[in-house]
Structure 1
Amino acid sequence: AVYNHYKRIQTGIADDVELGKANILLIGPTGCGKTLLAQTLAKILDVPFTIADATTLTEAGYVGEDVENILLALIQNADYDTARAERGIIYIDEIDKIARKSGDNPSITRDVSGEGVQQALLKIIEGTVANVPPQGGRKHPHQDFLRLNTANILFICGGAFEGLEKLIEERAADRRAVGFKGERERSVSDLKWSELMRLVTADDLLKYGLIPEFVGRMPIIVSVDPLDVEMLVQILIEPKNSIVKQYQRLFSLDKVELEFTPEAMQIAAEEALRLRTGARGLRTIIEEVLLDVMYEIPSRKDVTKCIIDADTIRHRSKPILLTQTERPVDWAKEQTA
C-alpha cells in the first residue's frame, strides 16, 4: 500500500484515470509495534514524519488541539519545506479513543473529542489545502498561514480497539463455522485474537464507533499480531539498538560489563506479557531492575561485571556484581557495615 502510494505521487501523469489515496488503519494491542512500523517506513523512504495523539484533539472552537496542529508538526519536521512535507507520513495514534461514545448510534449531545474530531480529520485525510498557523495554537484572522496541500500525505492511523473482537465474534457467530485454508473448520469461539482481527470489516468498525466517512477514507485495514514471549525476548537482544545493548553501552562507559542470563530475559518477557504492556513494558522492567545499581556503580571502582539473573528480575533482588578478583560483592555484608 505504501509502495503504491509513492508510486502514484512520483508518476505525476495527468490522465483520465485519477489514482486515489490509500490511507492505512493499523489495529493491534499496546506495545506491538504499530508506531515503530510507521516510523521505520518513513525512515526507509526518507520522508518527513510526525506522530499525533488522537486523544489530545478536539474539533475547532473547543479547548484542546486543532487538527491543523498535526500538519504544523509535519512542516516543522520538514524544516518548513512545505513541498517536502506534502510527501510526508502522519501517524495518528489512539484513533480508537475518538470513536462515538454510543457506537453506531449518533449521539444527541455534542461529542467534542469523538465524532467531532473524526469529522475534523476527514478533510485533511482525504486531501485539502489547509491553512496552518506557523506558531501553532488557535487560528485568528490577523495572522499569516502556511498553506499545505494534504492530497499526497499518507495517513496511518493506529489503535488497540479493545472490545472489537467481541463485535467480530458476534457477527461471525451467525455462521456456524469459519473456514481456513488447509485447516478444518472451527467455531468462532475457538479463534485467537489475531485470527478474529483478520476477519474485521468496515461494518465492525462502524459498530465500534467510527463514522462511515472516516472508515471510507481508510481503505487498507491491517491487524498487527500481539507479541508473544519469544518475540519479546528477541526485541530485548536482537535489534541494533535493543534495550539490552543500550544498557550494556551505558555500563561500558563506567568500564563495567553488563550481562543478562537467558532465564532473566525470559522472565522479563513473561512479565511484560502478563502486564499487557508489550515491548514498551520491557524498558520499564529493565530500568526498574537496574536503577539502583546504575546509581551504585560509578562510586565502585572495583566492580568489573554486573550479572542480571532470574532472581534479579523475578524478586527485584540485587544483581550479582563481580570485582577485579572475580569475587561477587556481598550485598548483605555491605549493608550491615
Structure 2
Amino acid sequence: MEESLLPVAIDAFLGQRVLGQKDLLTRISVSLYKHIHGLPAPNVLLIGNSGTGKTTLMQAITAFYDAHESLSRLRVMIVINANTLAAEVVGEDRTTRLFNKLEARAKVLFGADVTAAELKDYLENATVCVDEVDKISGRISGKPNVSGIATQYALLTMLEGEQFLYRATVREDGREVEVDLPLDTGRLLFICGGAFEELYDQVYGCLVNRRDDRRLKEVSEVERRADGTVSVRTVARFKLCDYLRLADLFTYGMMPQFISRFGSIAVLDDLGREELRRIFLEAANSPLRLTMEYFRHMGIRLAVTEGAVNAIADAAAKNSRIGARALREIFNGLIAPHEFDPFHSPRLAQTESGPTLTIDQETVTQYLCRMD
C-alpha cells in the first residue's frame, strides 16, 4: 500500500494547509482513507464559526486528490452552497440537479468523451462538500422553513446510500446519446459544514437557564504578573464541543434522520492567538503574503515586526465569531492607506535592502485605537 495514503500521512498533508483543528483533521483523514479504499466512509458534519477553516479544509481535500495520480478517479469533487439545492421550479428533482453538477465537473476533468462506464465510476466515487448546511434548518427565527426541510430530504436520498437512476449524456460512436446510469449513492463522501451561529446561543442558554442537567464547568486559571506575583482565579469557559448533544441539533431544526446519516460530527475550535499568528505568517492566502507581493511589484519591501504580528493576532483572537477572517479585516484596514500612496508613507525608509515599509507594534496599536 502506498504509504502516503495512510491516515497519518493524509493528516500530515491536510495539516500543512489547515492550521489547528487537530481533532477534525484526524476524523477527516480516516474518512478519506476509507473512501479511497472503497470502504464505507462516514459522512462528516462540520460545525464552526466563520473563519475557522471549513472552506480551507475543502480546498485541502481537493489538493490531496490532485497530488496523487493514483486517486485520479476520485477527483470529481464539488463545493456547493446548501441554498443552491432549493427547488427552482415546483416538483424539481434536486438529486438530479446535484448529479448534473457532478457530471459537469467530471467532464471538465476528464473530457466530454467519457464512456458511460467511466462516468458511472466517477459519479459514484465523488466527494460532495455542502457549505452553509445550517441554512437549510427546518426552522428560521422560530418559524417553520418548508424549503429547508425539503432540501434536507433531498440530501437524505443520497446520504442514505440509495440506488438512484440518473440520466446522463455520453458520447458513443462520435455522437451524444442519453443513457440511464444506476448509481450507488452509498459510495459518495459527503462533507457538510455550517456556522450554526444560533446553536451556540441556544446551548449556552440551556446551561445558564438550567433547562436540563448540563452545567457550565468552572476551571482555575493561573495569572503570572510582570512583577513576579501570581494570582489564581476561577472562571467558567463555554466551548460548544464540551456541551453539544444531538438533541440540540434537532431543536435547531435539523431532522433526526438527516443528522443520523453523519458518522462523524466535528465542532471546530475557535482559533486562538497562536493559530491565528501561524495563519497570518504561513498561510498561502494570508493577507500578509498577498500584500508583500503587492509592494514587491512597486520595488518596496514590506517588513512587519514581531510585536506588530502579535498585536494583530491578539486583536483577531478577540473576534472569535469570524476567526481567521478577522486577520484580513484588521490588516487590510491597517495597510490600506500605505498601499494607496506608499512612496509618501511615513513608514517608508531607505535601508540596506532597499526601500522598506515597516509596520511596527505602535502602528498597529494606533490603528486599533482609532477603530474602537
TM-score strictly above 0.5: yes
Give secondary structure in 2 for the equivalent of 1:307: strand
Q: Which amino acid aligns with 1:197?
A: C
1:164 to 199, 206, 215: 199
Tell me, yes or no, if structure 1 residue 266 matches structure 2 residue 310: yes
Tell me, yes or no, if structure 1 residue 279 matches structure 2 residue 324: yes
1:65 Cα deviation from its structure 2 partner: 11
- Count of equivalent residues: 292
Q: Which amino acid aligns with 2:191?
A: I
Per-residue CA distance 1:202-234 (angstroms, 9 max, x = gap): 222111110112111112111110012232122
Alpha-carbon distance between aligned partners in 1 of 2:302 and 2:139, rounded to the nearest angstrom: 49
1:193 Cα deviation from its structure 2 partner: 3.4
1:144 Cα deviation from its structure 2 partner: 5.1
More strand by share: 2
Q: 1:306 to 1:299 in 2, by over 3 A?
A: closer
Per-residue CA distance 1:294-328 (angstroms, 9 max, x = gap): 343489998711112335444449xxxxxxxxxxx
Identity across the alignment (%): 27
Tell me, yes or no, if structure 1 residue 226 matches structure 2 residue 277: no
Give secondary structure in 2 for the equivalent of 1:156: strand
Q: 1:177 to 1:270 in 2, by over 3 A?
A: closer
Alpha-carbon distance between aligned partners in 1 of 2:79 and 2:58, rounded to the nearest angstrom: 9
Q: Which amino acid aligns with 2:152?
A: Q
Contact 1:59-1:67 within 8 A present in 2 as well? no
Q: Which amino acid aligns with 1:287?
A: N
Per-residue CA distance 1:55-87 (angstroms, 9 max, x = gap): 333136259994544444444444254333432
1:174 to 204, 212, 217: 212
Contact 2:76-2:109 within 8 A present in 1 as well? no
Per-residue CA distance 1:91-134 (angstroms, 9 max, x = gap): 2111111111169x994xx612x111111111123334363787
The residue number in structure 2 matching 1:33 is 53
The residue number in structure 2 matching 1:154 is 189
Give secondary structure in 1 for the equivalent of 2:280: helix
Residue correspondence of structure 1 range 185-204 to structure 2 within 5 A = 192-194=237-239, 196-204=240-248
Q: 1:154 to 1:61 in 2, by over 3 A?
A: same
Tell me, yes or no, if structure 1 residue 308 matches structure 2 residue 328: no
The residue number in structure 2 matching 1:56 is 84
Q: 1:68 to 1:219 in 2, by over 3 A?
A: same
Residue correspondence of structure 1 range 1-337 to structure 2 within 5 A = 1-9=27-35, 20-46=40-66, 47-59=75-87, 61=89, 66=94, 68-78=96-106, 79=108, 81=110, 82=119, 83-101=121-139, 107=144, 111-112=146-147, 114-127=148-161, 128-129=163-164, 131=166, 147=181, 149-169=184-204, 170=206, 174-175=212-213, 192-194=237-239, 196-275=240-319, 276-297=321-342, 304-316=355-367
1:248 Cα deviation from its structure 2 partner: 1.7
Give secondary structure in 1 for the equivalent of 2:87: coil
Alpha-carbon distance between aligned partners in 1 of 2:202 and 2:76, rounded to the nearest angstrom: 36
Alpha-carbon RMSD across the aligned residues, in angstroms, is 4.0
Contact 2:217-2:236 within 8 A present in 1 as well? no
TM-score (norm 2): 0.64
More helix by share: 2
Alpha-carbon distance between aligned partners in 1 of 2:247 and 2:332, rounded to the nearest angstrom: 42
Alpha-carbon distance between aligned partners in 2 of 1:286 and 1:130, rounded to the nearest angstrom: 51
Q: 1:8 to 1:271 in 2, by over 3 A?
A: closer
Give secondary structure in 1 for the equivalent of 2:139: coil
Alpha-carbon distance between aligned partners in 2 of 1:263 and 1:89, rounded to the nearest angstrom: 42
Give secondary structure in 2 for the equivalent of 1:151: helix
Q: 1:228 to 1:11 in 2, by over 3 A?
A: closer
Structure 2 runs not aligned, ≥5 long: 1-26, 67-74, 111-118, 170-176, 221-234
Give secondary structure in 2 for the equivalent of 1:207: helix
1:35 Cα deviation from its structure 2 partner: 1.7
Q: 1:3 to 1:292 in 2, by over 3 A?
A: closer
Q: Which amino acid aligns with 2:80?
A: A
1:235 Cα deviation from its structure 2 partner: 0.8
Bigger mean CA offset, 208-217 vs 19-28: 19-28
Q: Which amino acid aligns with 1:89?
A: T
Structure 1 runs not aligned, ≥5 long: 13-18, 135-142, 185-189, 318-337
